[in-house]
Homo-oligomer: A and B are copies of this chain.
Amino acid sequence: MVKRKKIVKKKATRAKTKKNVYFFGGGKADGNGSMKNLLGGKGANLAEMAGHPKLRIPVPAGFTITTEVCTYYYDKHGRYPAGLKDEARLALKKVERIMGKRFGDPENPLLVSVRSGARQSMPGMMETVLNVGLTTRTIAGMIKQTGNERFVYDAYRRLITMYSDVVMEKAAGIEPGEGKGIRQQLEKLLSEKKRERGVRLDTELNAADLKDLCEKYKKKVKQVLGKVFPDNAEKQLWGGIGAVFSSWNGRRAVAYRNIENIPHEWGTAVNVQTMVFGNMGEDSGTGVAFTRNPGNGDSKFYGEYLFNAQGEDVVAGIRTPAPINKNSQSDQNRHEVMLKDAMPGIYRQLDAIQNRLEKHYHDMQDIEFTIEKGRLFLLQTRVGKRNGPAAVKMAVDMVKEKLITREDAVMRVRPEQLDELLHPIIDPDAEKKNKFLAKGLPAGPGAAVGMIVFDSNSSVKWAKKGKKVILVRDETNPEDVEGMRAAQAILTARGGMTSHAALVARGWGKCCIVGCGNLDIDYNGKAVKIGDTVLKEGDWVTLNGTKGLVFKGVLPMMDATKENKVLNSFLSICDTIRKMKIRTNADTPEDARKAREFGAEGIGLFRTEHMFYGKGAEEPLFKLRKMILSDTIEEREAALKELYPFVKADIKGTLKAMAGLPVTIRLLDPPLHEFVPHQKEQLEQLAKSLKVDMSNLEKRISLLKESNPMMGHRGVRLGVTYPEITEMQVRAILEATAELVKAKEKVSPEIMIPVVGTDREIDDQRAIVSRVYKEVLKKYHLRKVPLMVGTMIEIPRAALTADKIAEVAEFFSFGTNDLTQMSYGFSRDDMGGFLAPYLDKGILSKDPFQSLDQEGVGQLISLGIDRGRKVRPGLKVGICGEHGGDPDSIAFCYRAGMDYVSCSPFRVPIARLAAAQAAIQGSRGKK
């Protein structure tokens, strides 16, 4: 029976013989920052921080188990390489020596954290277990060591909760549900205890309360999961490590990787690190900071911290954290004590460290720190996520500061991030007139309008139906990622600028407001109360993510891009690097003017037929319809004559607006039937004007109908069968050109023949162009006018016979919308019937109409360019499909050797960046 042809498969044998565990701590490290693929981002950075002589940063000692072990673990169905446990034991010994404590020791016990760490950060997507090593044997030692019984039982309570949830429940095969898992049941016990003791906060419970709670927790775990909570440090450690590896293929992590295009075969490393405690009293604390402001890019140290708390309390957004310094103050945290004031020495040390880190890494760092009884530890450093405006500002600033090169700056901004700078904002006038309902932290810039929903599932469902939704939650967690993705914006009641919602939204450049305290959400009633206002599911709100304001109803939006100096500086840097020209697809003189403001260097696609759509087009459209429904060549020529002045005026206006930049004018493309009216009055009017009766008119219309209009009588096929249509358009272009030449205006028209499949079609049409060209020169007494004649390459056969076509065509413009349709045999209009299952099953990795199918369609493009240039070395080549605005596709176009890409006006800045990145990657690739 059938078998897939075997391709050589890299076996995960490396882990058998190689080093699997990398120690770090005490000024030394086995690894370093360059080993991200092996140690994961977190592990590599911990090694770098601990071991690099220029950094010497206090890091709790620990070790990293490599990503190769993870690969092995999956290949071998959950087994580890043979020597792994011995290696880990040796590393742990070193940690014990440096920290002066012993793991599982009843007297002086070492506690560790077990955390994931992939090559690329996947915040919150995998499991973590803290306080590993606390057992009935070590509790007493811990109490002796810390002198804080309450703290130890609190840590124990946290360990039981986390471990039973992350390790034991997962091992039992239960995926996290809503309010049904062990975690929820344990938290219920906590609430009961608080009620019983008449207190509101966890911190109000005393040691005895917590000790009692721990016993109740363990009983509950046994009862719910049928297993005893392990009372052995070693067992806890390997349970935690296994849980982290397992979580690499958890539903959340897989979904995240699919969204972020992270390969599933990379695997995660595991970091086992000495626990340091930010919750050891008022001389302890924990925080997250950024070397620059990730929200706007300001070059100022920025961070938040919580006294007497563990790290996850900051990220989870349960308490609103305090600012570390003045730069980090906001309306929400202004009343809290700054770290700078509370612990000036620690702050200075931290500030010095963040300075060293940014200089060392040449990029903004996102760092986690803990203060344990007045002692500062860095737990993590990594390149900080930032939103688009911040990314652009940092890139421009760092070039000025000589921290990075111009090329680095260009590579620092993802093209999608520019999108954020181009996002609409609320019309300032409308915003002034409306009182906002609520104010939160401005976690994601731009504005958004949508209908509110209160859970992730509804967000996904409504969005699939094409509705614009805004996800409103108390706080978000990794389970909400898909719903957040589907929403226009996210609004949460709790959490700070470093909360889950803020981090995720920032990564996506999505509008987001967090910590909007006066939101009172009723999940069951599907409503939110804000002051006196009650909003129900489906009600419209408008968010200003740049300021953190929530408005009721729909407010008008406007363009945010005008006069953005930082953006323009950044794009100027891009322009000095890129090698491809950027043109735009524009159909009117106004579009043309707008596109030039965006930086377009020409029009790559002017669709003549667009003058028949939209407002003001009634008269030319009526005349076009008369032409289409003409029965004889005489009728048609008469109608064309009426149409002529409209076409000429439109083209002339556009040519003039582009002031000498090239304008590619495509001859009439769509099947004629598309223009036929459907309303009775319009048909009657037409019949009257054509002097035929309705039945005759209907007969003419029915003759135009096609089974597959996409592959029907359109483009050059119209021009061949109705040469008079081509002639009219060509004359309009050339007379407009001649008149502008006479008026000493600069013009550069390019006639583009669409839907060409063979060189003979262009030959046929070119004969018309040549004749009209001579006639126009004569009429205007000119010796020549500028003109190029080329073709769209959008039919596979045209690409295949590009050598012949280039004998006739002076330029190629790849129409990748149609080229994708024909190459894949996908009708874009009908693809809805199967696109979703195709994406879900991974049969298509992307919608090929969004991002060019480089593997298939790309072959036709490369081959078409090569063959065309073989015959006509100077052949000008561009792209005018919608892929011209997609960064991946732009990079492909550059590699394929195109001279320009053309995209919608709004995408021009993004294309400028993408083209610059492509040029850099191209020259780096060559080296």
Contact = CB atoms under 8 A, between A and B. Distances in A.
Interface of A: 1-2, 4-5, 7, 706-713, 717, 720-721, 755, 757-758, 760-761, 763-764, 766, 769-770, 773, 784, 787-789, 794-797, 800-801, 806-808, 810, 818, 821-827, 829-830, 833-834, 837-838, 841-844, 853, 855-857, 859-860, 871-872
B2 A788 contact: yes
A648 B28 CA distance: 72
Contacts of A2: 766, 769-770, 787-789, 808, 810
A823 B818 CA distance: 11
B708 A710 contact: yes
A856 B7 contact: no
Given A795-B825, A818-B825, A837-B720, A830 B763 contact: no
21 contacts: A2-B787, A2-B808, A4-B807, A706-B827, A706-B829, A707-B709, A708-B710, A710-B827, A711-B822, A711-B827, A712-B833, A717-B834, A757-B824, A760-B844, A794-B825, A796-B796, A796-B824, A796-B860, A797-B853, A801-B859, A822-B823
A706 B708 CA distance: 9
Nearest to A766: B2
Nearest to A788: B2
A810 B706 CA distance: 37
Nearest first, the 3 closest Cβ-Cβ pairs linking A and B are A708-B827, A711-B827, A797-B856
Contacts of A838: 717, 720
A857 B757 CA distance: 11
A833 B827 CA distance: 21
Q: How many copies of the chain does the oligomer comprise? A: 2
Contacts of A853: 797
A869 to B, nearest CB: 12
Given A713-B834, A757-B856, A808 B4 contact: yes
Given A760-B843, A800-B856, 10 more contacts: A1-B789, A706-B833, A707-B709, A710-B825, A713-B834, A760-B842, A796-B856, A796-B860, A800-B823, A801-B855
A760 B838 CA distance: 10
A871 B4 CA distance: 11
A461 to B, nearest CB: 18
Looking at A773, A796, A824, A837, the one whose CB has the most chain B CB atoms below 10 A away is A796
B834 A721 contact: yes
B830 A711 contact: yes
A838 B859 CA distance: 29
Given A710-B708, A834-B717, A872 B827 contact: no
B5 A872 contact: yes
Contacts of A770: 1-2
B712 A827 contact: yes
A4 B707 contact: no
Given A720-B834, A757-B825, A871 B5 contact: yes
Contacts of A709: 707-708, 827, 830
Contacts of A834: 713, 717, 720-721
Contacts of A712: 827, 830, 833
A843 B842 CA distance: 42
Contacts of A755: 825
A730 to B, nearest CB: 11
Looking at A5, A773, A860, the one whose CB has the most chain B CB atoms below 10 A away is A5
B843 A758 contact: yes
A755 B830 CA distance: 15
A841 B807 CA distance: 19
A859 B755 CA distance: 19
A5 B808 contact: yes
A388 to B, nearest CB: 34
A821 B711 CA distance: 8
A854 to B, nearest CB: 11
Contacts of A843: 720, 758, 760-761, 764
A711 B826 contact: yes
Contacts of A824: 757, 795-797
A821 B806 CA distance: 23
A791 to B, nearest CB: 11
